Chains A and B, each alone.
Chain A
Amino acid sequence: MLRYIVRRILLTIPVIFGILTLVFFLGHVLPGDACRAILGERATDAVCAAYNHAHGLDQPIPVQFGNYLAALSHGDLGTSTKSSQSVLDLLIQRLPVTIELGLAAMLFAVPLGIVLGVVSAYKRNSIIDVVTMAGANVGVSIPIFVLGLLLAFIFAILLKGTPFALPPSGRLSPGLTIVPLATSWGLTDWTGIPRGIIEFLSNMYTFNALVTGQWAILGDAIRHLILPAVALGTIPLAIIARITRSSLLDVLGLDYVRTARAKGLTERNVVRRHALPNAMLPVTTIIGLQLGSLFGGAVLTEGVFNLSGVGRAIFEAISSRDFPTVQGFVLVIAIIYLTINLVVDVSYAFLDPRVRLT
């Protein structure tokens, strides 16, 4: 087991290096002028030369790459050329928004998807099954931005004034502000990594409001999260429901399930105790893969619902040719994605001993 995990971790190292190389060169080798993107089209050559010198952009590309790797090894992700903030600070502001959104989307998609999949398989070819699977087919075909806009239209306009109305943009209603964790816990004098962690947690509004008991804000933050989470979670929901159904149907056809039935177990117990645990294996993989791909959908969701998460940050940084921000953010996302895959693979080995042998 340990050997499997170690080997799996070692295999990710060349991939991380590949990511670093790709991200760096994508930003530097291809056309585009960072200086004029920042200082304006009419910046003179002399001004640009000074700017490039100050940011090390006049050095040969391999040297810049070396500098980048060296800084990275000290945990320095660079400084945004647009806002002059450190990329790490930007990440601490932006990443929690996306993580909160992604978790909310999965909180909507995973339990509902599994339940719908199990019910569809259990009552195969019933009306519930047909409707669920047709719904799943439509669910994977709706673009996130169309669904998001439609949800906003339905819940903010059509249902306006009813108890079901939901806010279509932002994270909190105007006028409400959330107290940072550092303030409520009296830790404002903390600095460095611990402070970063506190700021990070603090920016996940629902978590912050929950642990500090700011109930009005918690309710408001949750209300703002619902529409984006549903928009982002619909595709994973549809995929999870389909995989759960087909995987459970496969398992229900196996010999040991027939044995369990022959023993006289109730159908309910056969499904719950014998079939479901094994049917969950492919579902785990799919959940892991969907978690990673949420970052792509987050760009669209954050755009539609006006949330300032990483997706929008990367999009804005790319538009303004803010290389350090793009590199830092994409690197962190790719590493999170890799880690999720690693965790899925390892948990797979725990759940299914056969995997370890190959």
Chain B
Amino acid sequence: MTAVVEAELVGGRPSTSKGIWRDTLGNILRQRNAIVGLTILVFLTLTAVFADQIATHDPEKPLFGIVDKVKKSSAPCIHALGCPADQPELLMGTDSNVRDEFSRVVHGARISLVVGFVTVGFAIVIGTLIGLVAGFAGGWVDNILMRLMDVVLVFPALLLAIAIVAALGQSLINAQLAIGIVAIPIYARIMRASVLSVKESDYVTASRALGESATGILFRRVLPNSITPLVVAGTLGIGGAVLDIAALSFLGAGAQPPTPEWGSMIGQESGRIFTAPHLIFFPGFALVLTVFGFNLLGDGLRDALDPRLNR
């Protein structure tokens, strides 16, 4: 289905419009970055959805008594690639608690994607509301809200997040909350800026003249016109959120063991980098791939959705 649309749009003349949604989709599919990013993310999403089927073992339980001759922190062993047949076949080896690393990395995709979406979703909702109110109300309301956002922005994000987690207690939920709070100003600023630019436009004046209420104007006129920058910032933001939450978990301030979260897995095994580097490499690679996917898609979306770049 997508392939048909893609072929049709890529082949078509750019000057003929086929409606806003198909034009947009065509613009996105013409971006090489966006396609690569989207492919990576589809792959990760499938991994996350079918994690239970893909994983070969329980990600949180040691393999003692389940797999014969299993050792802790053992290197990957794949029989087809020349690993001796008398050793158990484990795609990514075991971690220092004799858990199956492959199953943990697979389940980590589920955690990282959910965590990224929820965190950024939270930041976008709150940030958008703050930005809408600040931009629309103006005056002292605007001043107080935006100065508050400035204060949050003055702290290095990760340090502020660590402080918030320390105050609330160390858990994955609190880490998400902390990273979400730290990200609010970004979306508030974007929203406020687009409200300010849309507020004075003729069609908003027209709606006002027609007697539309302030909330009606806000949600029916202003918000839809501000979606583009939010989508772009949000996509890039998910990559950042995944990275920051992994960093918090790496420091022990986010997901707690035995949760198969990539950052926490790396943090738990960082002392074994010299003896069992695969325990850093596999979750590290998964993390890079995820963030890379969101960054590429975000860049592609920005190029596709920003009409000023359509030269």
Binding site for B on A (CB under 8 A): 14-15, 18-19, 22-23, 26-27, 30-32, 137-138, 140-146, 149-150, 152-153, 156-157, 292-297, 299-300, 303-304, 311, 314-315, 318-319, 321, 326, 330, 333-334, 337-338
Contacts and interface: CB of A to CB of B under 8 A. Distances in A.
Contact of A18 (B150, B159, B246, B267): B150
A210 B243 CA distance: 37
B123 interface: no
B126 interface: no
Given A15-B147, A18-B147, A145-B266, A150 B158 contact: no
A152 B284 CA distance: 14
Contacts of B157: 293, 296
Nearest to B154: A334
Given A14-B147, A27-B167, A30-B167, A143 B287 contact: yes
B292 interface: yes
A242 to B, nearest CB: 9
Contacts of A152: 273-274
A297 B274 CA distance: 23
Interface in B155-193: 155-159, 162-164, 166-169
A304 B280 CA distance: 12
Contacts of A144: 247
Given A18-B147, A334-B155, A146 B166 contact: no
Contacts of A297: 158
Contacts of A15: 147, 150-151, 154
Nearest to B166: A318
Interface in B259-311: 263, 266-267, 270, 273-274, 277, 280-281, 284, 287-288, 291-292, 295-296, 299
Contacts of A157: 274, 277
Contact of A149 (B166, B251, B280): B280
B162 A300 contact: no
Nearest to B292: A141
B148 interface: yes
Given A26-B164, A145-B270, A326-B163, A19 B151 contact: yes
Contact of B274 (A145, A156, A299, A311): A156
B147 A143 contact: no
Nearest to A242: B299
A143 B151 contact: no
Contact of B159 (A143, A156, A299, A338): A299
A315 B251 contact: yes
Nearest to B267: A145
A136 to B, nearest CB: 10
Contacts of B156: 292-296, 333, 337
Interface in B91-119: none
B59 interface: no
B237 interface: no
Contacts of B284: 143, 146, 149-150
Contact of B151 (A22, A150, A153, A319): A22
A275 to B, nearest CB: 19
Contacts of B254: none
Interface residues on B, range: 35 or more
A283 B292 CA distance: 23
B87 to A, nearest CB: 24
B234 interface: no
A321 B288 CA distance: 33
A337 to B, nearest CB: 6
A143 B263 contact: yes
A153 B280 contact: yes
A303 B292 CA distance: 24
Given A141-B295, A143-B263, A315-B251, A333 B151 contact: no
The 9 closest A-B pairs by CB, nearest first: A296-B158, A296-B156, A18-B151, A30-B167, A146-B284, A318-B166, A141-B292, A141-B291, A295-B156
A146 B288 contact: yes
Given A15-B147, A32-B167, A143-B288, A153 B158 contact: no
B158 A299 contact: yes
Contact of B273 (A23, A137, A142, A153): A153
A143 B246 contact: yes
A300 B250 contact: yes
B280 A141 contact: no
A145 B154 contact: no
B127 interface: no
A144 B288 CA distance: 11
B135 interface: no
A61 to B, nearest CB: 14
Nearest to B147: A14
B289 to A, nearest CB: 8
B288 A337 contact: no
A287 B296 CA distance: 22
B147 A141 contact: no
A334 B162 CA distance: 15
Nearest to A341: B154
Contacts of B131: none
B26 interface: no
A153 B288 contact: no
Nearest to A18: B151
Contacts of A153: 273-274, 277, 280
A23 B164 CA distance: 10
16 contacts: A15-B151, A23-B163, A31-B167, A32-B167, A142-B291, A143-B243, A146-B266, A149-B273, A303-B250, A318-B163, A319-B166, A330-B163, A333-B155, A334-B155, A337-B154, A338-B154
Query: Looking at B158, B267, B284, B287, which has the most chain A CB atoms within 10 Å of its CB?
Result: B158
A142 B247 CA distance: 11
A296 B159 contact: yes
A338 B156 CA distance: 11
A142 B242 CA distance: 11
Nearest to A320: B166
